[in-house]
Amino acid sequence: MIINDDLQQRWWDLEFRLVERFGKKPDLDAILFLIGIQETGLVTQKVTKEQKQDLMHVAVCSILLPSGYYELEGKDQDGWPHFKQLKALPDMPLPEQENFLKDHVLFYFEQHGF
């Protein structure tokens, strides 16, 4: 599959900056996990499998907020954000889904000054 060269270059640039910061090249799941931690403020030594899934869900909702797919309803007593889905996600093949998420991740980092 041929993907948009600009998207690929911007993704490589982000990976490079994350390698500089963390010393390891993260995949998309790891980046979503980091966004989830950023959004929740969860800092703990041990994260359960369920918490990891929850953090990645928070990340996906957070990165799709600007495109109007989700809105933040508020936070619970533990500080976890809760979202309301406003519109259905586009139906697309897996490689296009990945690029869709990558583009939103890049926008998220741009908006957060990284």
Q: What averages of pLDDT result for each successive group of 10 residues across the chain (114 residues)? A: 73 94 93 94 85 95 97 92 96 93 96 88
Give the bridge partners for 85, in sequence order.
Answer: 70
Tell me how long the chain is: 114
Task: Provide the residue type at 23 as one letter.
Answer: G
Largest CA distance in the chain: 45
By three-state DSSP, how is residue 84 classified?
strand
Residue 97 CB neighbour total at 10 angstroms = 13
Q: What is the pLDDT of residue 4?
A: 63
Q: What is the pLDDT of residue 47?
A: 86
Q: What is the pLDDT of residue 1?
A: 37
